[in-house]
Amino acid sequence: MPSHDVMPNMELFQPTQVEDALSLADRFAERGWLVGGGQDTYGWLKDRTKTTEALIDLSAISSLRGIKETEDGLEIGALTTLSEIGGDLKIQRSYSLLSKAAEVVASPQIRNIGTIGGNISQDVRCWYYRRGLSCYRAGGNLCYADTPEGMNREHALFETSRCVAASASDTAPALVALNATMVIKSTQGERMLSAEDYFVGPSIDIQNTTALRPGEVLTAVRLPTDWANASFYYEKVSDRNVWDFSLVNVAAAFKLDNEIIQDSRIVCGAVQCTPRRIVNVENAIRGQVKSQKTADLVSDSATAGAKALAHNGFKVPLMRNLVKRAIAA
């Protein structure tokens, strides 16, 4: 364990061009740490739980900020703050699901600094992992939360392969529901990933929560026109109205024709390591009236396969009710 009395030495780089950031990311790879707003990064470094040889601060790259219209939707720079997203008229008009999600992240002060790229790419918040214990995710051979004595009230219900930590992002479920595309660049070029594929669970990668690889930079998020102006529903339940992470949240988008559901995307957050899309419910409500009756008929299936831990069983009815409210609203 590193000493908590002395801040480890590290280099600081502050590029102003994307090309320079990509070159630095390629040069340092696993030995470098990309920083946007820094809300997650600085906590790790302050607690000495993780260290790095180099901080690559992206905040001076103006081309990674802002929201612009494209031929097929909107493009949001990865460094655009959550406050900017919450207050942007273009997003409010056509993709209000995302603006509502951004508006409930943490506190106004954090939203003023925190970026969309950082919010969706942040690491899990399990306190055992964050304390520096040698759990599976940190390279050890035990999940401290998944034990008879473990404190796991905020942890996952699904896909708990070796790690039961849950996703902490409030905006990630909204991006999956909107079928967003992530733009990822490196010195080798550019690649696109759907939001659904951007997030990875512990059965695929126990050490990372996203598909970003060393040397890559998330530069933008694109919202397609096919889900613009749909009927949206977003709700977050947490212990407090500000600051806290979600206990469970739901983001839903519906395409309607005279209140008949033609298509939908329903996604819950904080119930597994990645945003959980409720595909079985989406299939069940296709062609049905968007109503309380429909919601009552399918809500039980929203939690099919859930495996409660010692202290998070309350999440099962909570998740079920949030899905029901999204369909009935």
- Predicted TM-score (pTM) of the model is 0.96
Partners of residue 222 on adjacent β-strands: 75, 181
pLDDT at 197: 98
Per-residue pLDDT tens over the stretch 125-154 = 999 999 999 999 999 999 999 998 999 999
Percentage of the chain beyond pLDDT 90 is: 92
Model confidence pLDDT, tens digit, residues 26-44: 999 999 999 999 988 888 8
Task: Tell me the average pLDDT across 312-321.
Answer: 98
Helix (H, G, I), strand (E, B) or coil at 66: coil
Quick one: DSSP state of residue 239?
S
Six-digit token string for 202:
């512990």
Residue 2 has pLDDT above 70, yes or no: no
E-state strands within the chain: 11-13, 32-35, 54-57, 67-70, 73-77, 181-186, 189-194, 217-224, 231-237, 248-257, 260-269, 276-277
pLDDT at 4: 59
Query: DSSP for 310-324?
Result: SS-TTHHHHHHHHHH
* pLDDT score recorded for residue 166: 98
Q: Is the predicted pLDDT of residue 90 greater than 70, yes or no?
A: yes
**pLDDT value of residue 46:** 83
Average pLDDT, the chain: 96
Helix, strand, coil fractions of the chain, as percent rounded to 5: 35, 20, 45
Domains and their CATH numbers in the chain: 8-329 (3.30.465.10)
The more confident residue out of 161 and 5 is 161
At 3, the pLDDT band (50, 70, 90 cuts) reads: low
Better-scored residue on pLDDT, 250 or 39: 250
What confidence category does residue 163 fall into, taking pLDDT thresholds of 50, 70 and 90?
Answer: very high
The pLDDT, as a whole number, for residue 316 is 98
For the residues 19-32, what does the mean pLDDT come to?
Answer: 97
pLDDT of 217 strictly over 90:
yes
| pLDDT for the residue numbered 12 | 96
pLDDT at 29: 96
Mean pLDDT of 117-132: 95
* Gap between the terminal Cα atoms of the chain: 51
